[in-house]
Structure 1
Amino acid sequence: MTIRLPHGVYEPRAEPAVFAGGAALASRTVFSAAHVVADPYADASPDSPAAVDWDATLAFRRHLWSHGLGVAEAMDTAQRGMGLDWVGAAELIRRSAAEAKAVGGRIACGVGTDQLGPGGGSLTQVRTAYEEQLALVEDTGAQAILMASRALASAARTPDDYHSLYTHLLRQAREPVILHWLGPMFDPALGGYWGSADLDAATSVLLDVIAAHPDKVDGVKISLLDARREIDLRRRLPQGVRCYTGDDFNYPELIAGDERGFSHALLGIFDPLGPLAAQAVRILDTGDVAGFRKLLDPTVELSRHLFEAPTRFYKTGVVLLAWLAGHQSHFTMVGGLQSARSLPHLCRAYELADGLGLFPDPGLAETRMKSLLTMYGVAQ
């Protein structure tokens, strides 16, 4: 069987790779930042509140938990700030946290300031918004991830503004939180975070915040797509504070680590790679670094493709692959973002994912991809 793509004919693989589920991973703490499944039948415009298919959304989280992965909820992979507003995110957090309790899954949820809206607010309003979201997440029993805030980036005038606000939040957190540094390649509004466009200066502010309250910081997620900077940061963290890689370009080497340490993971690419990634880490649990790299390294080409510039639209490829893999019945996204990537981009994502054996039913993936191509006018 073959499929006709815009650039030529492709022959899909006949059999999927097999990745068995299992217990929680041992040598690394690994979170998959999970996407949300839109309700395709909702009468919604791109400016409407998010219409979510809750059953399919929660089923996907159970899929991730069944492979021993943690779920990072209401993060940018869930279109937070790109279609999913605070009202929708709050409902997502409540439902997913309850589901995590029911199945014994690990969950951490994003705490931000998006109830302030596009205009942002004063530093006092930013603090109040963070406090509201932190209280909600902690009340569900989930771990909190203090997300980078567009409103804070807009309102802060000096590094001290960041230091003061984060110190205030850490003092009142009930349990250790994960801090979150998302670079402007993921969200242009976050340029100059931590009070400086100089990344060395910004790193120093972040480290000062952590050093002041290391008992309240479980770890820090770094999403700068700069492996050397992440390695330098993790070597400077206080004892017991984890570095969670958010580097979707260099994650195998960062998770494998070196003689001076390693990174844990909180990654959007582990949404489509969930079963494969979990199997790779189980190999790493045995001490087999080479076997871990042999399985995970070939996935980097797919990840770099999905996260190519403009990086913030990587969610489109993630949702495409979830549809092709049978995790949802449609290729529709909150806010209509299924249109955010070109057909050639989507076709290449299909080829790379198929080559990795990510589709449990390659025939279903082929049929669905053909239907998409036909809609674009590519006759099969």
Structure 2
Amino acid sequence: MTDAPELPPGLALAWGVAERPERAPRRELSIERIVAAAVEIADTDGLGAVSMARVAKSLGFTTMSLYRYVTSKDDLLLLMQESVIDVEFPPAHEPADWRAELREWALVTLALYRAHPWVLDIPITGAPLTPNNLRAADAGLRALRSTPLADEEKIATILLVNGYTRNAAALGRDLDRAATEDDGAAAAAGLADTLRALVDEVRFPFLRPLVERGSYIAQTPGLDEVDDVQWGLDRTLDGIAVLIEHRAAGAPHAGDDDAASVTPSGTDPGSRELAEEAAARARTYAGDPRVKKAAHRRKDAERQVREARKRLRELEKAEQAARQAEAEAARQAAARAARD
């Protein structure tokens, strides 16, 4: 039997195979207490507030005392993430129902991000290697156990769904923060009115109707007819369902020798050519000097339009001020005439 490879300090701590300090300054200090204190700080004040010094102070120890247990702040962040990912996923469905199970997996993941939004700020440096991270991945793969997807496709699927939940949680957090700072509905209403004045039908022909109807920015948060997060998750699952149907019908898996000849849809033989044509067109559009020159002229014209509109608004304000001054002068003249 060969020995297990030596792990970096943070991973060794996460797996519980790191050596515990033999001589601790005070016996009540532990890795678990350090991580719990750091999580509490992050939950309250965000990830930026977490430092070895602040964690040590909250526990009543010196900063150097913590380094007997956690060798670096990066290791502490890894252990904090590992701590909050220690959640239970719903049990498997019998019979297997990949869509229901993957939806549950996504919603548990989303709830975790919402409960501890600072997790979203921890940089991703590679594949998850800690026990609880791997348990989460295992639960996602379990949801796909009944599907005909290849191993690589199953991994790509849970990465896709997890990426969606991360993005949804981050966007929700940022929008909530902005609403709190800007007085919520009142700010949204004011911004909607501003957009109506700025978003014209010439530069934004397809956005303008949404702005006019108030669809682009909801003025009453929480009363939207569509739950954007649930809607997006359903559409993501719809796309996965199409792939599963094609695989069940015998379409080659990603990585198969003849998979390159299969279109993304798996059924339309012309869609591959269309995709290649679209990619070539996009590359040409982005790199063609004539396109760039025309785009520059367009931007210059738009700038001149904005400046003209700005001057027009200034003239309108000047006109309004002049009218008000005229009215005030007339009022004062009438008052003097009445006194005389």
**Larger-Rg structure:** 2
Instruction: Indicate the TM-score class for this superposition, using the shorter chain for normalisation.
Output: under 0.3
TM-score (norm 2): 0.24
Give TM-score, length-normalised by structure 1: 0.22
**Which is richer in strand?**
1
